[in-house]
């Protein structure tokens, strides 16, 4: 993570690494470079670039997140949840099984940008205190289940 709150990543080996959700750029704050590479991070074997610094890419763009906070409506509960989920990035290892269903991807993890969550809590406290975030019987459209949503809610309460 850099000083602005951007999250950067690099594929150090030769196995593919994917940033999931690159096709739906309105639901995520992924950088243009990742979108141009179809979500795939540059591996050592896929390019002639030998310098590691040249393979580092921004997988979470804080500038885009700030624009979303200022631009996107958040009148409904689903709008508030979607705004919160924009602070998360899913990264798949070896295979990209699809952005909408994480169960089709055998190995993946999620990065939650706490700087973005803190900014969201400061600028839009009503979004972070929305009672729908604590609901137990709902499933998100972006492929993240209710346990992930409740974990995100617990993190928000600790900020």
Is residue 1 a part of any domain in this protein?
no
Per cent of the chain over pLDDT 70 is: 72
Separation between Cα atoms, residue 4 and residue 125, nearest integer Å: 21
- Structure confidence at residue 127 (pLDDT): 66
- Structure confidence at residue 137 (pLDDT): 39
- Structure confidence at residue 139 (pLDDT): 40
Mean confidence (pLDDT) of the chain:
77
pLDDT at 136 over 50: no
- Structure confidence at residue 100 (pLDDT): 66
Is residue 114 a part of any domain in this protein?
yes
State the pTM of this model.
0.72
pLDDT at 50 over 90: no
Range of the domain at 107: 7-158
Averaged over 53-76, what is the pLDDT? 84
Question: Which residues have a Cβ under 8 Å from the Cβ of 31 and sit 6 or more positions away?
Answer: 6, 57, 58, 59, 60, 61, 64
CATH number of the domain that residue 53 is part of? 2.60.200.10
Is residue 2 a part of any domain in this protein?
no
Structure tokens at 136: 């137990």
Question: Which residues have a Cβ under 8 Å from the Cβ of 17 and sit 6 or more positions away?
Answer: 9, 11, 40, 41, 43, 91, 92, 93
Is residue 139 a part of any domain in this protein?
yes
Is residue 45 a part of any domain in this protein?
yes
Compute the Cα dihedral for 72, 78, 81, 87 and give only its sign: negative
- Structure confidence at residue 149 (pLDDT): 59
How many domains does one find in the chain? 1
pLDDT at 158 over 60: no
Is residue 153 a part of any domain in this protein?
yes
DSSP string, 71-127: HS---SHHHHHHHHHTTEEEEEES----SS-GGGSSSEEEEE-HHHHHHHHHH-HHH
Is residue 16 a part of any domain in this protein?
yes
- Structure confidence at residue 48 (pLDDT): 63
Averaged over 23-34, what is the pLDDT? 83
pLDDT in tens, 88-127: 999 988 777 765 677 778 888 999 999 998 888 887 776 6
Is residue 75 a part of any domain in this protein?
yes
């Amino acid at each position: 993570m850099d000083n602005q709150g951007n999250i950067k990543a690099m594929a150090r080996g030769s196995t593919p690494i994917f940033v999931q959700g690159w096709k739906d750029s309105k639901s995520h704050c992924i950088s243009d470079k990742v979108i141009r590479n179809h979500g795939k991070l540059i591996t050592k074997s896929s390019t002639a670039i030998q310098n590691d610094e040249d393979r580092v890419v921004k997988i979470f763009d804080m500038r885009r997140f700030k624009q979303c906070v200022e631009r996107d409506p958040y009148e409904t509960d689903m709008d508030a949840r979607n705004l919160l989920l924009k602070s998360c990035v899913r990264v798949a290892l070896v295979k990209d099984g699809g952005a909408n269903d994480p169960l089709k991807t055998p190995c993946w993890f999620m990065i939650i940008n706490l700087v973005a969550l803190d900014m969201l809590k400061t600028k839009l406290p009503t979004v972070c205190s929305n009672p729908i975030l604590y609901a137990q019987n709902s499933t998100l459209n972006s492929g993240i289940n209710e346990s992930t949503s409740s974990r995100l809610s617990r993190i928000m309460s600790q900020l």
